[in-house]
Amino acid sequence: MLERRLSVTETRNRLPALVGEIAEGKGEVVITTRNEPKAVIVDYEAFLRHRRLRMQGARHVVVELVADAQALLQATQESCRGAGEPDLYLFLVSLEELLRDIWEAAEEISPAHASIASELLDATRLYLAGEDRLRPEQLPALAEALTLLTRDELTMVEAVATDRRLLSHGINPMFPVQGDLVSLYEEKEPEPA
Amino acid sequence: MSAAPHIFLDTTIQIERVTATRARQAEIAQALAGARVISSTYVLGEYLRTLAQDALVLHNLALRSEQLYDVETQIAHLLNKRSASRCLLLWASLHRLGVYEKPKLLRTLRVYIEYGLVNRFMLGADELLDTTACGLARERPAPLGEVYRLRTQCTRPVKECDLAERLAEHQSEMRVLADGLKDHPEPALARMSTLCALILEDPDVARGRNCTWYLGDLIIALELPVDAALYTTNRRHFEPLCALLGKQMYKPRT
């Protein structure tokens, strides 16, 4: 692929011609500041192709990582069947690591994927911080939400419903606030213009 | 067998059950266990223009800040003292768990803004009264490019609720409040007395800024059903109102 490097000033001066050339398939332009590459102008078809590939890659990553997380969940559920109070700390550490990567990939897929992954990650962080305590009976609800992430299409309506389902199982990914927030709402004062 | 008590949640307790420490959230959930839980669209409107609006402001500030520490600087420069304090508490809550990646913080705030806060408002509510048909309660944060906008103020000339009609049905209570709160040492309640007198003359005075700024507690006290007890953290304002209206306050066992 033909690649030209132009400074911001050169790009600005030649922009109308450059747009035509790039659209005709005459390569892409790397824009530099102080000789450092900073941005690229590519033709729109190439951009869409790149975005499609990135999304496919992200889907592939999510499917693989969710499979790892499900295996971890299943092993944990089985170990919870024994007597006594299970220690879920090590499980949560591993799950958090997976969910961080799942969330990053989910951001490439859709806002609904990203929202569900983000909530699962936040919930796990709350458990690790000791704000909440994860109970073995909540594991199937986590597994169900994880499975949703492997779907190609997800809507925000489904993300809203997933949040409600998690809440109904006592899984609340919203961070609690320390300090007296409520008293700051009790008296109103004019908002700035 | 006695019937389940009816408990009405006002805006302060709704905010608390969503944002307070987990111990306090559990305390509230315990207090509501077995009760018929009621709230209203007017309370939802207040909740949106307070907590949801603050989350939205924080999101928009974080979005336009290059560095995360710039968010605190912008909060200090752009917001009034009370809004700044609220936003800093919310901001600190996001950081407390060691989350410092800007895209992740933004996503968490987006979840709060787009549905998280409203889902938690509705959680466990058996009934949502719609006595005022509040127009602002029907608003939801709307994306405008990457930022969000939420309409938090209505105006008197544009009629979009039934508040004036509802207050007109409560003339005797309004008269009691106008007389009973006159010269009250609490300035917010004394102002309510003045407004009650004006609304008795012209119910439309209630709409717009008077509704969203000064009459919130009065509207909630009036819409509180007689068979329900009000659960609030703002006893300072609601105790005198409920006493005058012969309505009950909920006192959780400690």
CB–CB contact B111 A182 (8 Å): no
The Cα–Cα gap between B206 and A65 comes to: 56
Q: Report the chain B residue with the minimal C-alpha distance to residue A164.
A: B119
Paired tokens of B166 = 């509802």
A140 contact partners, CB below 8 Å, separation of at least 6: A77
Question: Amino acid identity of A95?
Answer: L
Query: What's the ipTM?
Result: 0.89
Inform me whether the pLDDT recorded for B34 exceeds 60.
yes
Q: Which residue out of B108, B117, B239 would a mutagenesis test of the A interface target, given it has the greatest number of A Cβ atoms within 10 Å?
A: B108
Substitution target from B14, B96, B234 for chain A, most A beta carbons within 10 A: B96
The C-alpha of B224 sits at a distance from chain A's nearest C-alpha, in angstroms, of: 18
Residues of B in Cβ contact (< 8 Å) with A131: 22, 97
Residue that is written with structure tokens 């402001």 in the block: B57
**Any domain includes B183:** no
This prediction has a pTM of 0.88
Amino acid, res. B34? G
- For residue A192, what pLDDT band results from cuts at 50, 70 and 90? very low
Q: Is B84 a member of any domain?
A: yes
Contact A167 B79 (CB under 8 A): no
> Going by DSSP bridges, is the β-strand pair B36-40/B127-129 parallel, antiparallel, or unpaired?
parallel
Q: What is the pLDDT of residue B208?
A: 87
- The tokens for A8 are 């911001």
Residue-wise pLDDT tens digits, B147-182:
999 998 888 888 888 888 888 899 999 999 999 999
Chain A residues touching residue B78 (CB < 8 angstroms): 192
| Cβ distance of A175 and B97 shorter than 8 Å | yes
Burial label, B152 (beta-carbon count in 10 A; 0-12, 13-18, 19+): middle
C-alpha count within 13 angstroms, C-beta hemisphere, residue A80: 17
Percent of residues, chain B, with pLDDT higher than 90:
74
B198 within a domain of the structure (yes/no): no
**Contact at 8 Å (CB) between A17 and A35?**
no
Is the Cβ of A89 closer than 8 Å to some Cβ of chain B? no
Domain, as residue range, for B241: 6-153+215-249
pLDDT band at B100 (very low <50, low <70, confident <90, very high): confident
Query: Over the stretch A49-61, which tens digit does the pLDDT of each residue have?
Result: 998 999 999 999 9
Q: Is residue B1 included in any domain, yes or no?
A: no
Q: Is position B144 within any domain?
A: yes
B83 contact partners, CB below 8 Å, separation of at least 6? A191, B54, B57
B228-231 and B6-9 beta bridge pairing: parallel
Domain assignment present for residue B82? The answer is yes
Contacts of B50 in chain A (CB under 8 A): 185
pLDDT at A1: 59
From residue B220, give the alpha-carbon distance in Å to each of B89, B123, B205: 27, 20, 17
Cβ neighbours of A122 in B, within 8 Å: 97, 99, 108, 111
Average pLDDT over residues B31-39: 96
Number of domains, chain B: 1
The alpha-helical segments, DSSP class H, found in chain B are: 11-19, 22-32, 41-47, 53-64, 68-78, 81-95, 102-111, 117-122, 163-168, 171-180, 187-201, 209, 216-223, 235-245
Structural Rg of chain A based on CA atoms: 24
Q: Is residue B22 part of a domain?
A: yes
In chain A the domains, ranked by start, together with CATH numbers, are 3-42 (3.40.1620), 55-168 (1.20.120)
In a domain, B48, yes or no: yes
Q: How far does the CA of residue A165 sit from the closest CA of chain B (Å)?
A: 10
Tokens of A121: 């990650």
